[in-house]
């Protein structure tokens, strides 16, 4: 973060100063006392199970210069606010505005939202933009994983320095108004809407409410900014009507009218897509086209790549460079279609960070492609959460799709996912083609016995279902076995 005195932090957050006003924050803004270092600002967030105030002294002992808290902490340099989460957002808003107003700043903020694909698109953007910024610390800031809520986004924004050229932010939502709040903290120069789906539909109550919320991105870009919309999704394409006068709108997709589009899409036996990237001309620039071969596994990544390409082109990256960097791009966040080739010949596809009906279908189709006709496909699936009243039907539909895709083996883990097993059985699975197990330990024991050389196994669920632990276990299982064998020689 840029250096701020305690007095400046108090002014930005509306807090009451219980510290030397000249104390200076020179380090990171943190919410975990174990990350404390010299000059840090520790934000004491209260929680259901852990209260950050209980760890403030530890943070100061670790080097933190200042604490942002909801009550005075005796003996500790503290700024007291009514709500630390709100104050965190206020501080992030202040820091970003300060950097943007600095003379000569080149900072551009990119915001990405959508029901699926946010994290991958954000990670792709980081890899497309980093070479443009040069070898300068903090020149490109991209969060690891999905720091996309009212806490994670401000923490990412607060990493900004005066050397930052590109700040790429993922913006998630579980209710109407969430994206508006996040864009209020960090108004994007370029705002991206990927897709409107049924992820987290439970808290929203319906897909139209999801569309209204994702469209808040369009309204949240800076004056004269750019909105990037998925032309293949009718609900997203319709958001053009929410763009303010003077906003530039660019579209991406596979339909002919898209400004940046993919043509002649093919998928190789490893699940990697190739296509012709065609960019519509404008002004004195004619239409451009270039071949793109993605390194990411899964044909659904074509949409993510198109979105990232559209942003990068808008920010001045040459189309040839876009193609080369997309080809070289790799997964940057854990448990996101991470492919492990085990020494015993089993291929593990760990996509257990998140799941909703759309991403689950995409993962299963990728599994079918990877296995082809010669390898056994194994789908290990857990619960898709926050689907509300439609949860049973959504899980049932996934089970039926497993059968239609001719996935050879289905393992359903946990009570919340049971209806995947039920749907598969109703669709025609018989015998042991679909197996239900109640918990992770049962799944580990089963799969350690079940998997054979040549199998391709997909692990997918919502994060809260915990199947990421199973993904780690399966990815490491064979290497551990090999090490044990070596040690007995």
- Asked if residue 332 lies in contact with residue 423, where contact means CB atoms within 8 angstroms, the answer is no
CB hemisphere CA count around 56 (13 angstroms):
25
| Closest C-alpha among 79, 72, 44 to residue 58 | 44
State yes or no: 116 annotated in a binding site: yes
4, β-bridge pairs: 25
- Asked if residue 281 lies in contact with residue 287, where contact means CB atoms within 8 angstroms, the answer is yes
CB hemisphere CA count around 51 (13 angstroms):
6
| b/e code 184-193 from CB counts within 10 Å (16+ = b) | ebbbbbbbbb
Spatial distance between the Cα atoms of 355 and 352, rounded to a whole number of angstroms: 7
CB hemisphere CA count around 312 (13 angstroms):
31
Query: Could you write out the DSSP letters of every residue in 51-85?
Result: -GGGGHHHHHHTT--EEEESS--TTS-EEE-S-HH
Chain Cα centroid distance, residue 59: 29
Alpha helix ranges (H) inside 176-238:
178-185, 201-204, 207-214, 216-220, 234-237
Spatial distance between the Cα atoms of 219 and 215, rounded to a whole number of angstroms: 7
Query: Could you write out the DSSP letters of every residue in 413-465?
Result: ESGGGHHHHHHHHHHT--TTSEEEESSHHHHHHHHHHH--TT-EEEEE--GGG
State yes or no: 118 annotated in a binding site: yes
Spatial distance between the Cα atoms of 68 and 75, rounded to a whole number of angstroms: 14
Instruction: For tokens 């002649």, name the residue.
Output: 264
Spatial distance between the Cα atoms of 106 and 135, rounded to a whole number of angstroms: 15
381, β-bridge pairs: 412, 460
Name the burial class of residue 376, with classes exposed (0-12), middle (13-18) and buried (19+) by CB atoms within 10 angstroms of its CB: middle
Alpha-carbon radius of gyration of the chain: 24
Q: Which residues contribute to the annotated binding site?
A: 114-120
Q: Which residues contribute to the annotated binding site for ATP?
A: 114-120
């Amino acid at each position: 973060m840029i250096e701020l005195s305690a007095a400046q932090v108090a002014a930005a957050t509306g807090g009451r100063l219980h510290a030397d006003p000249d104390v200076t924050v020179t380090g990171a803004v943190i919410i975990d006392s174990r990350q404390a270092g010299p000059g840090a600002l520790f934000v004491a967030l209260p929680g259901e199970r852990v209260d950050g105030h209980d760890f403030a002294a530890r943070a100061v002992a670790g080097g933190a210069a200042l604490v942002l808290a909801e009550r005075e902490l005796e003996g500790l340099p503290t700024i007291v606010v009514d709500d630390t989460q709100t104050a965190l957002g206020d501080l992030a808003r202040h820091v970003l505005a300060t950097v943007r107003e600095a003379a000569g700043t080149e900072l551009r903020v990119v915001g990405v939202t959508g029901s699926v694909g946010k994290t991958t698109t954000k990670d792709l953007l980081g890899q497309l933009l980093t070479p443009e910024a040069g070898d300068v610390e903090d020149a490109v800031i991209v969060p690891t994983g999905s720091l996309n809520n009212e806490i994670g986004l401000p923490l990412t924004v607060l990493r900004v320095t005066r050397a930052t050229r590109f700040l790429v932010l993922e913006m998630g939502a579980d209710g109407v108004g969430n994206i508006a709040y996040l864009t209020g903290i960090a108004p994007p120069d370029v705002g991206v809407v990927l897709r409107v789906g049924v992820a987290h539909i439970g808290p929203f109550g319906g897909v139209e409410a999801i569309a209204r919320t994702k469209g808040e991105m369009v309204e949240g870009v800076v004056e004269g900014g750019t909105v990037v919309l998925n032309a293949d999704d009718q609900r997203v394409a319709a958001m053009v009507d929410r763009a303010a006068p003077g906003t530039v709108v660019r579209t991406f997709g596979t339909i002919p009218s898209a400004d940046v589009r993919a043509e002649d899409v093919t998928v190789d036996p490893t699940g990697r897509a190739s296509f012709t990237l065609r960019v519509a001309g404008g002004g004195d620039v004619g239409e451009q086209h270039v071949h793109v071969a993605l390194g990411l596994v899964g044909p659904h990544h074509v949409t993510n790549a198109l979105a990232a390409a559209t942003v990068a082109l808008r920010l001045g990256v040459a189309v040839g460079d876009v193609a080369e960097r997309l080809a070289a791009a790799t997964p940057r966040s854990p448990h996101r279609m991470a492919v492990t080739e085990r020494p015993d010949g089993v291929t593990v596809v760990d996509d257990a960070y998140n799941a909703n009906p759309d991403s689950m279908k995409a993962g299963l189709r990728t599994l079918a492609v990877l296995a082809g006709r010669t390898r056994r496909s194994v789908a290990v699936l857990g619960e898709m959460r926050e689907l509300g009243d439609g949860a049973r039907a959504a899980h049932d539909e996934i089970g039926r799709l497993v059968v239609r895709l001719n996935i050879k083996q289905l393992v359903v883990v946990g009570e919340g996912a049971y209806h995947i097993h039920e749907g598969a059985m109703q669709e025609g699975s018989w015998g042991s083609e679909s197996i239900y197990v109640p918990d992770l330990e049962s799944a580990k024991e089963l799969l350690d016995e079940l998997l054979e050389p040549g199998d391709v196994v997909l692990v997918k669920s919502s994060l809260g279902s915990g199947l990421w632990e199973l993904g780690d276990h399966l990815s490491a299982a064979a290497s551990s076995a090999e090490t044990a064998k070596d040690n007995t020689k």
